[in-house]
Structure 1
C-alpha cells in the first residue's frame, strides 16, 4: 500500500493479498479538519447473473499496472486543505487472490469537511476503480463451474 502526504492531502491506495480492515482504511483518512467520513465496502456475494449456480468464492487477479492506476484514481480525487473546493482525503484498497463469500473485496474511505463532498467523491472513486483498474475475477460455484468476469 502506498501513502502520500502532499500539502497535507491524504491519499492512500493499494492492492492487498491479505484480508481488508475497513476501520483501518477509514482511520487513514480522518482529520480534525474533516467533519464527514464514510466508508464503502464491496463484499463478495453468493450470486451473479453470469454464474451457473451459487457463487462460493472469487479469485481476483490484477494486471501489473493495476496498483499505479489505483494510485492515480485516488490522487485524482484527493484535495488538500488549501483547495478552494475543500479538502477531501481518500483511501482505496482492493483485494487480490482467493476470497470467500462475505469477504471484503474493496474498501474506499473518504473524509471531507462536509458530507456532500464525501458521498460524491466516494461514489466517483468506486465507479472509476470499476471502470479503469485492470482487475479480473474468476467466480467459483457450488456446481463446480467457474466463470471469468471483467476480462478485456
Structure 2
C-alpha cells in the first residue's frame, strides 16, 4: 500500500517536469563539451523537418547529423534491469498499462524516425550519473 494519500501522491507526480530535467541538462552539457551543436526539439527550424514534426518529441536534435537524442527516465520508460524502474505498489494495474503504453509508443516513434532517415540515440537517466561514461556512450553512438 502507498504510504502517501492520493492527494499527496498526485501533488508529487504533478511536480515532475517533462523538459529541462536534470538528466537532459547533463546530456546537453556533455554533448556541448564533445563539440556537438544541437537544438532543443521545440526550437528546431521547421525547414529541416518534414511538416515541422518529429515523432516522439526528441529532447535534442542534431540537424547536421540528422540525429535525435531521447533522454528517457528509467521509471517512465521501464528501463530493463534498472533499480529505478519499479512499478508502484498502489494502483499497480493502472501503472503497468501506462508504462507499457509509453514503451510501445517509444518503439513506434523510433521506427518512424528511422523510416524518415533519422538516427536515434537513447540515453537512460541512470547513464547520466557518470559523465565520463556518458561521454563514451555518446561518442560511440554518434560516430557510428
TM-score (norm 1): 0.28
Q: Identify the structure with the greater strand proportion.
A: 1
Q: Identify the structure with the greater helix proportion.
A: 2
TM-score (norm 2): 0.30
